[in-house]
Structure 1
Amino acid sequence: MRASVSASSAQPCLPCLHSHGNGRAVAAAYAVAACLVAVTFLALAALDPRAQASSWFLSSSSSSSLSSFSSLQPSGGGGASEHLLVTSSSYSDDGDSRNSTGKEVHEEVQVGGDDLLLSLINPSSGRGAPQLSVTPPTAAPELEPTPAALAPPAATESSDEVIEATPQVPRRRDVKLERLELGLAKARSAIMEAIKNKDKRPPLADKDYVPMGPIYRNAYAFHRSYLEMEKLFKVYVYEEGEPPVFHDGPCRSIYSTEGRFIYSMEMESRLRTRDPDLAHAFFLPFSVVKMVKMIYEPNSHDMGPLKRTISDYIGVLSAKYPYWNRSLGADHFMLSCHDWGPYVSSANGHLFGNSIRVLCNANTSEGFNPSKDVSLPEINLRTDVVDRQVGGPSASRRPILAFFAGGNHGPVRPSLLAHWKGKGQPDVQVSEYLPRGVSYTDMMRRSRFCLCPGGYEVASPRLAEAIYLECVPVVVDDGEYALPFADVLNWDAFAVRLRAADIPRLREVLSAVSPRHYIRMQRRVRAVRRHFMVHGGPPRRYDAFHMILHSVWLRRLNVRIAARG
């Protein structure tokens, strides 16, 4: 775990939340009502064949765990088909497992296939997808992160259902929500048509940029999805909460992605709505980095105050607005670049299990679920003039084969330093600290491959630094790291992934990349850079801010919120 940035301490709950101390009592009342609804639902579900319907897609390359909706059932069969891009699911060799809330999950599973989301999955594979029926939870317990179950990707041509989230307690028909869900259904159909016809149509028109080439899993479908997002998607930012813990974040540090997104979302006018009834997704604008600085007691190792702040904040929102309760958080998202983001998200069971968590610490072994969570690129900005931090020479002017410099901590770096630090290999430059006067940035610009091992956690700012400086990134891990934007980007086209066991063979593996192939990879790094750019001014289309929102958009398409009681 990265050393905390702590300068002062404060009370566990912010002043604006103190008047809402009855939130837990309300939650307890909801829990009792939920028990009665759950019994009724299970009796009906046993008679409803739709409860055994299949879903379309599993997520990108890694593990996933089943979302803990109060009740999960596919939307009604018959009528117009509606497809989804990602679906929360898990599998087990036995039919009995537990989801992220600790509730039992009974599954009948057919798995197969090796395509990842947004190749965009080959719909003609004809392989089966998991069939799910879920025991409804009766309350939202406080959770600790639990390992996610590994789920092989699967796709099917005949399954076209989305997961439907129904409320804990009966409510009136919501016509506005029905209208929103109809718009999302049309967008799903347009994107699915683009997936099926990716090789039969000319590129879509776009005045700024047309995605093309092998850096994408399916450039045509991504472009269609992006345009659908721009046309339709609206995000509501809750106005409750006071800076700096809310509506604020760091903009010049290793955690700058967190602050830059919060700031851009606050300033956003095109994709943001001020009317929550028009919103498809709801942003919870708290900053874990600021919480650690303002609330955490240094060296206490106690995240309780942080978790209580988040729990109370959600209590305020769920008491004031109907949106959290109607979906159990499934259309809400949080964002954190701090290592503790996943842990403090367990302050609320539905936040951890249902909501979209946008995290730099995208560790699948710690409960990160790529089918509903978003991997946030960690970008270390030292100045607002970002454009000066990009660019690099061609391959012929990069004499160093591989480069790494960084602290000796975490599960991977000790092995890397033990095998390559000070070994007298001039083309493999691995060190813990650079000598005085040696520029870290210049070393990356002189290197063909830049090693990107995680530290205390799986994410590393070196990934974005390498892309900025046109150095082919080498991700060193054992597959726990869900790479940013992997549902859209084909990382194999512009990066190398190396397992920890292969560290002794690092030089051999990288030397085997031919000069011609390396030149292609470096050009692709240059092309993909636009999706990782954070600009000093307003965000630009297809940049990091919009790619993060597009990732949220894809996951929002995964769920249909029931508009009826």
Structure 2
Amino acid sequence: MNGSDLFLLKNGNHDQPTITKVPRNFSGLDKLESSLVQARAAIREGQSGDQINDPDYMPYGPIYWNSTLFHRSYLEMEKRFKVYVYEEGEPPLFHDGPCKSIYAMEGNFIYYMETAKFRTRDPERAHIFFLPMSSTMMVRFIVNRKSRDHWGPLKRTLKDYIDLVASKYHYWNRSLGGDHFIVACHDWGPELSKAVPNLFTNSIRALCNANTSEGFKPYKDVSIPEILLHDGTMRGATGGPSPRQRGVLAFFAGGVHGPIRPILLEHWENKDPDVQVHKYLPKGVSYIDMLRQSKYCISPSGYEVASPRMVEALYTGCVPVLIKDHYVAPFSDILNWKSFAVIIQVEDIPNLKKILMGISTSQYLRMQRRGKQVKRHFEVNFPPKRYDVFHMILHSVWLRRLNARIHDSN
């Protein structure tokens, strides 16, 4: 993703906007599309225009592909973007979700989307439609662990919900789901979305498990961070000492599952005091304290590509080390992850220490400083604050909606 193509999102090497044809009789759509055309023009003009003073934050520096374009796009979102939240569906499967655990972003987003200033009660004014389903709650309350058919009840529930919405409103059918979105952080979220082919193919799926080998499309879908909130807040999870006080080169501790972690443990568990890799932390050792004592914090994929470790590293001033295949990092259409994180291939795990030792002190300090700068985009606030994780998720949805050209069929 090149920052100069901020709102022309790319699939591979080709710009690929989502184009959906709709019947001519929906005249209100023309006005909405016109406002998006104006937004795209304003963002383009912003590349060479005067910098706009912002009382909260001025994006700058190499953590962004293009800070000026991002800023203009963000301001246009605040100025124009309207989201309609379907009221159909009952808690806990809809309009509800976890606000603790590693799935916390799902529940947090659903809750705040329903109270955000971006919400409109008039669907005719909406640029996009939010389906407030919780994949986590569906798995929790519908799946019968004793049954071999996990997927059947889950997928029927989602399909029945989409059918209800489509029968009551014309918006789903006019775009075949192209101007609708969901947010799902559960591991099963991507598979669950296949229950409705148009949801999987056309709608914007904001997913923690942004795995391109499982159908995640970067030009259409949104990668969101998995954030572990033990008590529903960031309390106790942020802050750390200066780089000079960090005596551990690299740190990882976590369960052994998936194809990558066994390789990491094979090469580095109990092999080198500089590279602290553990299946289980020694008794009395604090996980969060180890993050704060380390220069680099390793985030390998497990069974799924998503992991809260990347955000935990940013929260504590540790430089993330990503070891993942087929993964699209959160907000990577805006953020240049290579400027504040180390990304290595699985085959380079045996050379992990050599790679990290090969990073100069000045470069490490730059990455660490940039990580502290980018942290604001991953913070969970109550209520949300401008540029925080809630707004970054919504901005990523805004970008995809800007890129979706819904045209008349005649």
Please state which band the TM-score falls in when normalised by the shorter chain: over 0.9
Equivalent position of 1:288 in the other structure: 135
**Residue in structure 2 matched with residue 453 of structure 1 by the alignment:** 300
Residue in 2 that maps onto 1:278: 125
Q: Which amino acid aligns with 1:193?
A: E
The one-letter amino acid paired with 1:505 is N
Query: Which among 286, 298, 323 is matched to residue 476 of structure 1?
Result: 323
Residues in 2 aligned to 1:397 and 1:520: alpha-carbon distance in whole angstroms: 16
Q: Residue in 2 aligned with 1:506?
A: 352
1:313 is matched with 161
What amino acid does structure 2 have at the position aligned with 1:252? Answer: K
Structure 1 CA distance for aligned equivalents of residues 95 and 154 of structure 2: 16
Measure, in 2, the Cα distance between the counterparts of 1:414 and 1:300.
30
Alignment of 1:331-370 (within 5 A): 331-370=179-218
Aligned residues: 409
Q: Is residue 228 of structure 1 aligned with residue 83 of structure 2? A: no
Kindly indicate whether the alpha-carbon contact (under 8 Å) linking 1:467 and 1:529 is maintained by their aligned counterparts in 2.
Answer: yes
C-alpha spacing 1:121/1:277, structure 2 compared with 1 (3 Å):
closer
2:277 is paired with a residue whose SS is: strand
Alignment of 1:290-439 (within 5 A): 290-301=137-148, 302-423=150-271, 425-439=272-286
Contact map agreement 2:104 2:232 (CA 8 A) in 1 = no
- Residue 549 of structure 1 is matched in structure 2 by 394
Matched, 1:467 2:314: yes
Q: What's the CA shift string for 1:210-239, capped at 9, x where partnerless?
A: 101111000000000000000000011100
Match of 2:20 among 156, 165, 168: 165
- Give secondary structure in 1 for the equivalent of 2:321: strand
What is the CA distance between 1:300 and its match in structure 2? 3.4
Q: 1:250, 1:258 within 8 Å by CA — same for their partners in 2?
A: yes
Work out which of the residue numbers 91, 107, 113 in structure 2 matches 1:243.
Answer: 91
Q: In structure 2, how many angstroms separate the alpha carbons of the residues matched to 1:162 and 1:443?
A: 44
Q: Where do residues 48-59 of structure 1 align in structure 2 (5 Å cutoff)? A: none
Residue 188 of structure 1: aligned partner: 40
Deviation (angstroms), 1:384? 3.5
State the distance in 1 between where 2:248 and 2:305 align. 25
Equivalent runs, 1:61-100 vs 2, <5 Å: none
1:122 is displaced (CA, Å) by 12
For normalisation by structure 2, the TM-score amounts to 0.96
1:176 Cα offset (Å): 1.6
What secondary structure does 1:474 align onto?
A: strand
Cα separation, 1, equivalents of 2:233 and 2:306? 24
Q: Of the candidates 118, 121, 132, which is equivalent to residue 3 of structure 2?
A: 118
- Opposite residue 487 of structure 1, the aligned amino acid is D
* RMSD over equivalenced CA pairs, Å: 1.8
Please give the secondary structure, in 2, of the residue aligned with 1:166.
Answer: strand
What is the CA–CA distance in structure 1 between the aligned matches of 2:166 and 2:335, rounded to whole Å?
36
Paired with 1:265 and 1:236, the residues of 2 have a C-alpha distance of 9
Structure 1 residues 448 and 162: alpha-carbon distance in aligned structure 2, compared to 1, 3 A threshold: closer
Is 1:333–1:356's contact at 8 Å kept on the other side of the alignment?
yes
Distance 2:386 2:229 in 1: 20
Deviation, 1:515, is: 1.1
Of Structure 1 and Structure 2, which has the larger fraction of its residues in helix?
A: 2
Deviations 1:63-121, CA, capped at 9 Å, x for gaps:
xxxxxxxxxxxxxxxxxxxxxxxxxxxxxxxxxxxxxxxxxxxxxxxxxxxxx242446
Separation (CA, whole Å) in 2 of partners of 1:279 and 1:373 = 19
Distance 1:452 1:119, change over 3 A: farther
Unpaired segments ≥5 residues, structure 1:
1-115, 124-128, 131-150, 156-160
- 2:12 equivalent to 1:152: yes
* Structure 2: gaps of 5 or more residues: none
Question: Could you tell me how far apart the structure 1 residues matched to 2:245 and 2:173 are?
Answer: 58
Residue number in structure 2 paired with 1:215 = 63
- Asked if the contact 1:120–1:488 (Cα under 8 Å) also holds between the matched residues in 2, the reply is no
Aligned 8 A contact 1:413 1:455 in 2: yes
TM-score normalised to the size of structure 1?
0.70
Determine the C-alpha separation between the residues in 2 that align with 1:294 and 1:530.
34
Q: Could you give the per-residue CA deviations for residues 157-179 of structure 1, whole angstroms, max 9, x where no partner exists?
A: xxxx9553113xxx452222111
C-alpha distance in 1, partners of 2:169/2:238?
Answer: 44
Greater Cα radius of gyration, structure 1 or 2: 1
Q: Which residue of 2 aligns with 1:73?
A: none
Contact 1:404 1:431 in 2 (8 A): yes
The answer to whether the 8 A contact 2:256-2:279 is kept is yes
Contact kept in structure 2, 1:251 and 1:258, CA below 8 Å: yes
SS of equivalent residue, structure 2 residue 38: helix
Distance in structure 2 (CA, Å) of the matches to 1:358 and 1:465: 20
Partners of 2:124 and 2:318 in 1: how far apart? 45
